[in-house]
Amino acid sequence: MGNHNIYQEPLVSRYTDKVMQQIFSDDFKFSTWRKCWIALAEAQMKIGLPQVKQAMIDEMIIAQKKIDYDVAKAKEKEIRHDVMAHVFEFGTHCPTAKGIIHLGATSMFVCCNTELIQIREALKLVKAGLVSTINNLAKFAEEHASLVTLGYTHYQPAQPTTVGKRTVLYIQNLLFDLKQVDAVESSLKARGVKGTVGTQASYLELFDGDYGKVKQLDDLVSKKLGFSGSFPVTGQTYSRKLDSFIAKTLAGIAESAHKFAVDMRLLSNLKVMEEPFAKSQTGSSAMAYKRNPMRSERMTALCRKLINLQLDLSHTHANQWFERTLDDSSLRRMSIPQMFLLANAVLKLYQNITDGVIVYPAQVKRHLDNELPFMATEAVLMELCKQGEDRQKMHEIIKKHSVEAAKTVKLEGKRNDLFQRLADDPEIPVTESFLNQFLENPERFAGAASLQTKEFLKNIVQPVLEKYSDLVGEADSEINV
């Protein structure tokens, strides 16, 4: 039960997974700060710093999960410094070790390293959501690889494609996003131990100017925190360029999801496809018959927020002066959790929708049949030319009747009677049965759509799903409301 007397963040109360919420929780953050302090002390002792003893480390390990938030809050109010407030609070549980907690470190030692750990763990959830969505779409594309449907350009009828071919376009977008997530993950390192402005001056003092030991300390701490190593150089913080890179990657996922969601909304209006509809779901408070694409609409809105959020991180990086300014702090405190929560919310919806998309083949055929006579005219013209008819004369006759048939559809609301008009015209040697044969096999007008779909799934998508098979189904797709 939530606290109904204060504002509740909808990303937490309505849209996201507990696992993603926990990564950005106070418990995760502050227990990871302590993990950083323990890793630092362990590495300092291993390299031979005499002030640090095993008993101190043992004491810190036992107290890692004991956080008295009231003590920390009171101390922060007194000294106006969150890191030093928690150094003090941790020390209340570690009387022997309190003198060596945070030894040689600056605040960004715990802040940056913890944020990088949060980012690392959050990206794993994002990747699982991406892969699971791709898997859903791949199954759907395979099932409907050959289902011919009307293709659109400018949201006007163009030429036939297949439902599967359109679906692999969505998959291709997500594969771009997956590559970007991989690129972010491969770029992630620890901040390590770099000192106040990144020069490691305090650690050189501790180790009597021995740079080799300082480098060893940096490497040891980074590996204890689960990284392969640390960024070779930093200012006071790791470069905020990384935050911007991550924000753009997550915004890219939002772009891909937004495109799918809008298409679903348009197809829903055409009654060609629909998102899953719960048995007891109410579409409208007034119109009982309505089946609104509510999940796709929500996904559109959340994507819009995530796409716009990247600008905050871009401006923050661009405005960092010299080794660091503090105008990054309050914004990142909101924006980094929000961008991951938004990505989680978007991918939950994307998975949920693609796990149960409904297709109406009869409606697909109806829309196709309404336009197919127009689209078949080129094939009819080519067939007449093969029979020795004058191309220009046949083209003019077909064009005249196409214009008239279109008027009948638009002005009178009648069916497309183009083929009837052509069959009734003595100047063009065709019969209605001859013309109707072009409508009996709509696949001929969809080109290689079915083949392209199957090739793409086999050659491009399947290897990716095999590579990440452990992630398929790992992300939660249940939506709360």
| Residue type (1 letter), 55 | A
For residues 238 and 231, the answer to whether their CB atoms sit within 8 Å is: yes
User: What DSSP element (H or E) covers 362?
Assistant: helix 361-386
Q: Judge whether 284 counts as a catalytic residue.
A: yes
215-225 CB burial, b ≥16 within 10 A, e <16: eebbbbbbbbb
CA distance 16 to 57: 37
For residues 217 and 43, the answer to whether their CB atoms sit within 8 Å is: yes
| Residue type (1 letter), 281 | Q
The helix/strand/coil state of 1 is coil
CA dihedral over 167, 168, 173, 174, signed as positive or negative: positive
| Residue type (1 letter), 228 | S
Torsion of the alpha carbons at 191, 195, 197 and 202, rounded to the nearest 10: -160
- What is the radius of gyration, based on Cα positions, of the chain? 31
CA distance 135 to 89: 47
For residues 234 and 324, the answer to whether their CB atoms sit within 8 Å is: no
Q: Judge whether 317 counts as a catalytic residue.
A: no
CA distance 151 to 47: 67
For residues 110 and 194, the answer to whether their CB atoms sit within 8 Å is: no
H helical segments located in 413-480: 418-424, 432-436, 449-456, 462-467
Among 428, 415, 310, 324, which Cα is nearest to 373's? Answer: 415
For residues 371 and 445, the answer to whether their CB atoms sit within 8 Å is: no
Backbone angles phi, psi at 230, to 5 degrees: -120, 165
| DSSP annotation of 190 | B
329-354 vs 241-270: helix crossing angle, rounded to 10: 30
**Catalytic residue selected from 4, 154, 285, 330:** 154
**Catalytic residue selected from 187, 228, 284, 329:** 284
| DSSP annotation of 459 | I
Which residues are catalytically annotated? 154, 284
